[in-house]
Structure 1
Amino acid sequence: MDDLVDDYDQALSPLRRCSNISSNLIDDLLLILYKLHLQKRFSEPIPTIGMYIALASLAIAVKLPMDLTIQMPGVLDQQAKLGSVAFMCIMMAFLLPSLANMNGMELATNITALGVLIITLVVNVCIQINTGLISHSEDMHITEYDGAKKSKGIIAHDKRAIAILYVAMLLMLLMIYICTALMILKSKQVLESKYQEMHKSIQQQARQLTVVNLKQHVIKYGVMATTGSTQLVTYCSVTTSASEVIGFLIFLLHHFTMPDNIRYEIRHRAHDSEYKWSILGILIIQYIGIILGATALLYRFDAPIEYMLAIEGIRKLIKFYRVESCWTDTLSDWRHNRLYSSPKLKHLIYKLQIFGLSILTHSQKAIVMTCKAIIIIPMLIAMCAMPPLYLFLDWLLLSLFRIQVDRRPEQVLHFAQYVLQPQDRNISARTLNSIINSVKCSNQNAERQQPSELMRLIQNVRDFKGVIEFDSLDVQSNYRDCWSLPVVTLATIALSLHEIQPGVLEKFQNVVSDGLVYVKLVEKNLNHNDELVSVQKAAERLWLEIEVYHTWLKKNLKDPELQEKTAIQIVGWFRDNATNMELVVGHKSICASSMGRITKTILLSNGNNIDEHGTDTDESGNDTVELSQEALFIKLSSMIADILAACLTNLPQVIVTKCHESVIEKREESVHAAATLLGKTSEIINTLQARQLPNLNPDDSPFIDKWRDHLRAQAP
């Protein structure tokens, strides 16, 4: 720094020798030169920052319109600054339906944060309009050519008008956001009430849970979940449609001003700011983002048309101009919430509250009416254009691809009673048919993913005897059993049998893994109580250890010690290790208890026992015929198949449970998950329902101990 000052001082030394120039003036000049140097030095990274802004523009960066210090007098500079505001408008229009996924507190927080951002942006743009940072006058664009001067003057005037228009649209979109948030709060309550009423009605229609009936059940809840969601209500609301029209109009304005600015950039150097060449990159990225956003808005605009197509008769079009109560019900409810105040001010505060809410209510109605006015012209145009377009698409699909669009009006009429909407609005048959086909598509795609190997394992199950054979009444138990733990324990013993071919063991492990996927669904949805949670988690953790590390509680299943043992000695080895671990705290104790109980049951079957030398003897102490590993493997596989089959008889109830989701935002996803589960397990359900199932109480069916008690009571 000192060297720089010395250089400037040396350059100004001739002036110091002039007697008519004061030293103070020279010092001031030296300071000015130094400040100019610093400004140039600090502005060197600005083009790099400009490229960062260009990339960040995809995330709605608003740095340029927020900047009150850096002058951007160039035509291209001005366009880039206003392009950020245009992009903000389009993204606000695009993101409006996302409000439907928020609860009351989230809506308040996000609307407040958005309001702070928009108000700050609007104030900054207004300051720049007033100070001339946006839309400089012709005097600031003087060039040596009159034609260039005239062109710049016209463009400068346009920039000022465009900036004012963008500011107005930002404020309008902010009011639309607030209006939509108030509507969502009330609509969610109305839709929830209607959903619960319809759910009770369906529950009263007791029907056998066959695959055919389950498909109908899933579609019913699919229609209820989709049409009764705040997502669809918000998506098809007039405020969303108006915001889409506003966004598309802003895109058209930005699009038609771009060519003039690009041509001017080619003829003249239109970027005069410190961002230099990077301003062109910012403009291009902005333009791409604006095009993509506008395309998405245009594609989405047919949603309100569906409502209009559902209206019968032009006379009902008048009803479109009425403001439904769902827009103002939230404000009406707030009238009854008294604000806390002192007794002296209670009357005054209440009157001010009523007065303020009355103004907000009228404002809300005005915004809704304005939105309806905004969308009515493009809506009528679309209504005229869409029917011929649909006919043309149907003809094209039939002519070129021999595909005939399946309207299925009968299925629409059958499921129309399950449509949930606030007020008395309807949806078109085309939309309802699309919802039904969406659920069917999830089901049909899953039908191609049937677990065939699991089917082969359980298709020979007849009497479910394995449910009682794995556990003897003569063996004490410290924990209540779940479905997954005995399956994992039996599979562990089977996987340790070294005389079984590795390929067979690998296939067996994969089948058990497939079965445990559905077992966990039964446990999670039907018997996920506090008493069984720890047991289920222990089973899940143990199976992960077996699959990944091939160990049981840190004991290697490929241990050379096991490779030399017979089948019955392997069972005894597991029994001894389990006995030593039963006193350990945590999941190891649960797993060891299960292993000890099952191995003792196997050893006690048919009166056999294991002495201290590992010799298989009967109750009289005589040596017995050694059980082969192949026979033990078949026995273990049979018990696993019986347990899995008994557990999977609960799949229809799991599907019914998954259809009914308590959280409104998750219902549609849950129904599609139920449709997928039904598709994957339809063959299993049909196979098991063809068996003679025990006559259990439906509330007892999800629990293995209830099955075991019932089967033992029925045994001869």
Structure 2
Amino acid sequence: MGSVDLYEYFQLLQQLKLYSNVPKDLIYSLQSYTGLVYTSELQNRFSEPMPWIGIYITLASLFCILTMVADLLHGLRNRKLWFPCKYFTLNAASLSVIAVAMKLPMDLNNSMPGDVDQAAKLGSMGFMCSMLSNLLPALATLDSTELVTNIIGLGVLLITLVVNVCIQIKTGVVSNTNVQYWFGVDYYSYKVNSYTQPIAILYVAMLLMLLIIHASSALAIVRSKQILEMKYQAAHETALKAQELQQPGELIVDKIKQHVSNYWIMAATGNPQFFIACSTTSCASGIISAISTLLHVIIILFTVGSLWDFKSDYKWSALVILITQFIGSVVGTMAPLSRCFAALSFKLSIKWIWNNMKSVFNAFGIVVIKEPEQQQTNKIPRHCVLQLQEDTELAERTLERISNSFERLIKKAEKQQPYNLMKLLEGSTGFRNAGKFDSRHVPSLLLEEPLSCWSLPLVTLTTLAISLPNIQKARIDSLLSGVSEGMVYVTTVEENLTATDDHVIIQKAAQTLWLEVEVYQKWLGNKLRKADPQVNTGGQIIMWFRDTAKNMITGQESTDTRGQNENSKFWSISGTSMHRITETILFSHHTRIDKVTDEELFEQVSSMITQILFACLANLPQVIAVKCHSSTIEEREASVYAAAQLLGETMQIINTLQDRELQA
């Protein structure tokens, strides 16, 4: 299109040359503008994608807004009014997205003559202030290396932004007041643009203050984590000693619950994000965010009368950016302001108020001896409350709120108890004979004896149970549902108690085999219940599995059945488990296997399954205690949350296990 306009310009020059009354100097002068016309046409062609770049900026801004909204909803749902950063965090990806969202104030060359263009450029800086205030608690989630790296990256981004805006203030890109005024723009437009430069300077000052706050907070976080870690280890030792004083037979759900509750308090009060949210720097950033949003509102009010005044290369996308980032500024300010008010409520305890009143009284020479008694509204052990400063205690209502959040999680988890698993365990007599599924009289077919575990024999026995003929489908489905729920907890127990490399290999083999059995109703490629047309009875099925497993181990099976070399270890582990279990079942019946009914075999295999489940799930209290304690401070709260969730789901199972132990 641009080349056509240039062509028409040449045609016009040629026509002028035909007229004798046109001065040649004028024609030569018009020819000298050919380069300018060509440059202008190129510039128009190059600026055609700019509105789509504006949409790209909008999408990046929307991503930041949605993650901030997700943090708001997460805080409200969990009643954490200090709104921890779970989704809007500081990392390389988020810094890249933020850099894209800041494209307008970073742009040095494109002029922004329209009111909307100027408002969008300034509004981006206000949006940046809101995002920085939201990102402050996210610093506490980073370890030392990540903290240094990301603070440097954030500092480079902010300094570049500030320098670019200062350059634009100097060159007039931010404010085109003089140019517009001399070209006859109305007074209202002049008034709007006259405020852009002071507001830009205020935004630059606020961005620099936020950078200083983030840098100082990063230094404070490193030291604060060390202090909190020392106090946590001391509280952890106290909790371990208290647990050792308990008798082994007295480990009941109430004591486990109290143990988890103590670690819940330790993790909540020792959360570095919680410390940042209660700090004065968080309050300062919240105030700055509120001021920046107020400036953004002022900009919007001055721009309402000229919402269609966009004259830059971004065209209509400048208005979209302005509206989107204004919404982001408002949304982004809600969390920092809430942290300001929440920080006061967290620290306004009776003792804190009394200590400050005593300071005032002492200043006037009034001696105060008796201190008011604090009513202990909860039974939270004080050694579980981790505080950076000993003279400042959290308010009782704050501790109550933390304790109540634990109770709510337990009650919510209780509604998710594995009912099929509990129904399966009801008919069991316990786990006194749990080892009978693997007889030591069965010779091993491997040079190296595989390690024992719970998940692999559980999957193997379930495979045998659902393969037996003449069993009602409802009973098989009930067994399969119970084992399916039990496998979740069996895997959790093994991951926390037997996490060696050799055990992990067996556990992965069991998980792969279970997926094949549960979903595809197959065992190592063989369709269950249709193993061989000539296999009709339960005893014959047991022998078929034994012979097939033996052939797999000894290598007598064809290479097509055995599979690729990388799967040979998986086949060997699975085949060994099947061979030992089937040999054990056959050995228990000696030569009577043909006379044993399918119902009797199903009951025997089901009993072995429940005994294994009981033996494994008896370790749940130990697993819960292990999950309460995490070595890294950043992951501690999530680990305790998982322990509380596991406790709530398995409380009835633990009670059943203890009842069976007492009966034994």
Alignment match, 1:454: 421
Quick one: which of 193, 204, 207 aligns to 2:241? Answer: 204
Matches within 5 A, 1:246-261: 246-261=288-303
Q: Does residue 153 of structure 2 align to residue 113 of structure 1?
A: yes
Are the aligned partners of 1:497 and 1:633 in contact in 2 as well (CA < 8 Å)? yes
Quick one: which of 388, 393, 402 aligns to 1:422? Answer: 388
167-176 or 562-571, larger mean C-alpha shift: 562-571
573-582 or 584-593, larger mean C-alpha shift: 584-593
Change (3 A) 1:144 1:679: same
Q: Deviations over 1:231-283 (max 9, x none)?
A: 111121111111011001111121133222202x16xx532323333322221
Q: Does residue 342 of structure 2 align to residue 303 of structure 1?
A: yes
Alignment match, 1:544: 515
Are the aligned partners of 2:105 and 2:165 in contact in 1 as well (CA < 8 Å)? yes
1: CA distance, partners of 2:31 / 2:317: 37
Aligned-pair CA distance for 1:654: 0.9
Q: Deviations over 1:465-492 (max 9, x none)?
A: 4413212221124212111111111111
2: CA distance, partners of 1:301 / 1:657: 36
Structure 2: gaps of 5 or more residues: 65-97, 361-373, 556-567
1: CA distance, partners of 2:577 / 2:216: 59
Alignment match, 1:66: 106
AA aligned to 1:605 is S
Quick one: which of 238, 251, 266 aligns to 1:224? Answer: 266
Alignment match, 1:187: 224
Aligned-pair CA distance for 1:70: 1.2
Q: Deviations over 1:662-715 (max 9, x none)?
A: 1211111111111111111111111111123699xxxxxxxxxxxxxxxxxxxx
Change (3 A) 1:249 1:3: closer
Aligned-pair CA distance for 1:15: 4.1
AA aligned to 2:12 is A
Alignment match, 2:405: 438
Alignment match, 1:396: none
Q: Does residue 501 of structure 2 align to residue 534 of structure 1?
A: no
2: CA distance, partners of 1:440 / 1:566: 52
Q: Does residue 585 of structure 2 align to residue 602 of structure 1?
A: yes
Q: Deviations over 1:33-69 (max 9, x none)?
A: 2222222333334334333333333344111111111
Aligned-pair CA distance for 1:96: 0.8
Are the aligned partners of 1:466 and 1:640 in contact in 2 as well (CA < 8 Å)? no
AA aligned to 2:277 is Y
1: CA distance, partners of 2:499 / 2:647: 21
Secondary structure of 2:661 counterpart: coil
AA aligned to 2:61 is S
Alignment match, 2:40: 36
Change (3 A) 1:530 1:14: closer
Are the aligned partners of 1:583 and 1:589 in contact in 2 as well (CA < 8 Å)? no
Alignment RMSD: 2.5
Matches within 5 A, 1:552-701: 552-559=523-530, 561=532, 564-583=535-554, 585-608=568-591, 616=593, 626-692=595-661
Secondary structure of 1:72 counterpart: coil
Change (3 A) 1:483 1:139: closer
Quick one: which of 226, 240, 249 aligns to 2:282? Answer: 240
Q: Deviations over 1:339-393 (max 9, x none)?
A: xxxxxxxxxxxxxxxxxxxxxxxxxxxxxxxxxxxxxxxxxxxxxxxxxxxxxxx
Aligned-pair CA distance for 1:180: 0.5
Are the aligned partners of 1:16 and 1:26 in contact in 2 as well (CA < 8 Å)? no
Change (3 A) 1:13 1:318: farther
1: CA distance, partners of 2:377 / 2:638: 22
Secondary structure of 1:498 counterpart: coil
2: CA distance, partners of 1:601 / 1:13: 105
Q: Deviations over 1:178-199 (max 9, x none)?
A: 0010011111111111111111
Aligned-pair CA distance for 1:307: 4.1
AA aligned to 1:528 is A
Aligned-pair CA distance for 1:230: 1.0
Secondary structure of 2:548 counterpart: helix
Change (3 A) 1:139 1:36: closer
Alignment match, 2:78: none
Alignment match, 1:507: 478
Alignment match, 2:330: 291
Structure 1: gaps of 5 or more residues: 321-407, 610-615, 617-624, 696-716
Change (3 A) 1:42 1:530: closer
Alignment match, 1:21: 25
Alignment match, 1:468: 435
Q: Does residue 20 of structure 2 align to residue 9 of structure 1?
A: no
Aligned-pair CA distance for 1:462: 2.8
Change (3 A) 1:317 1:169: farther
Secondary structure of 1:276 counterpart: coil
Aligned-pair CA distance for 1:23: 6.8
2: CA distance, partners of 1:481 / 1:32: 84
Q: Deviations over 1:105-136 (max 9, x none)?
A: 11111111111111111111001111111122
**What TM-score results when the alignment is normalised by the length of structure 2?**
0.84
Are the aligned partners of 2:262 and 2:381 in contact in 1 as well (CA < 8 Å)? yes
Secondary structure of 1:12 counterpart: helix
Change (3 A) 1:427 1:24: same
Q: Does residue 118 of structure 2 align to residue 152 of structure 1?
A: no
1: CA distance, partners of 2:531 / 2:586: 23
Secondary structure of 1:638 counterpart: helix
2: CA distance, partners of 1:77 / 1:656: 59
Secondary structure of 1:247 counterpart: helix
Q: Does residue 163 of structure 2 align to residue 126 of structure 1?
A: no
AA aligned to 2:544 is W
Secondary structure of 1:672 counterpart: helix
Aligned-pair CA distance for 1:551: 1.1
Alignment match, 1:274: 313
2: CA distance, partners of 1:656 / 1:3: 78
Change (3 A) 1:498 1:142: farther
AA aligned to 2:141 is N
2: CA distance, partners of 1:57 / 1:449: 38
672-681 or 532-541, larger mean C-alpha shift: 532-541
Secondary structure of 1:312 counterpart: helix
Change (3 A) 1:598 1:56: closer
Aligned length: 588
AA aligned to 1:600 is E
Change (3 A) 1:79 1:586: same
Are the aligned partners of 1:465 and 1:639 in contact in 2 as well (CA < 8 Å)? no
1: CA distance, partners of 2:576 / 2:663: 28
